Amino acid sequence: MKPTKHATTNYKKLLPYLENMNPHRQSAGRPTEYRKFAAPGMMDLVIESLHYDFAPDMPVFSLACYGEQNGDLMRDPDLVIAVHFGLGRVEPLSYQNDYLGIYQEVWNIDRQNRPYSYRARLRADLDEFLWTWLDQIAAAGYEPKKREA
């Protein structure tokens, strides 16, 4: 399948936020499970490994900002992506916004958990959304947040 328009650019923009998160890298120690970033006046950004691969060597991650409503955590938004570290590409998989009641998936999955068809327009839209969102994240000055003991 042909990469999305911004697959390589999104990878380059996202790579600093994925430090030590590649589960396929050959190094000592376990990869980082998640990272949290903060920016003044903004919701925290959380990047989390979802512990499965979309395709060989393409681990899946969630990028999400969380708000709170009536004591519940609300995703605003949550973008699930697959990252091919070897080829330097990002593939958008799904989008969710709890405040708006939206959940969209790019790929249809069969009973053996294999992708068999996709929504091309949604794939392109989420690729564009990630491209814009990563620019906004950089402009907001998100920095890694220290883990609380």
Question: Does any domain span residue 27?
Answer: no
In 31-68, which positions are buried (b, 16+ CB within 10 angstroms) versus exposed (e)?
A: eeeebbbebeeeeebbbbbeeeebeeebbbbbbbbbee
Per-residue confidence (pLDDT) for residue 26, from 0 to 100: 57
Q: How many domains in the chain?
A: 1
Question: Does any domain span residue 73?
Answer: yes
Question: Does any domain span residue 132?
Answer: yes
Higher-pLDDT residue of 26, 2: 2
Question: What range defines the domain where residue 78 resides?
Answer: 7-21+32-142
Question: Does any domain span residue 149?
Answer: no
Question: Does any domain span residue 2?
Answer: no
Question: Does any domain span residue 40?
Answer: yes
- The span from the CA of 49 to the CA of 64, in Å, is 12
pLDDT in tens, 58-102: 999 999 999 889 999 999 999 999 999 999 999 999 999 999 999
Taking Cα atoms as reference points, which of 130, 109, 96, 119 lies closest to residue 5?
130
Single pTM value for the model = 0.89
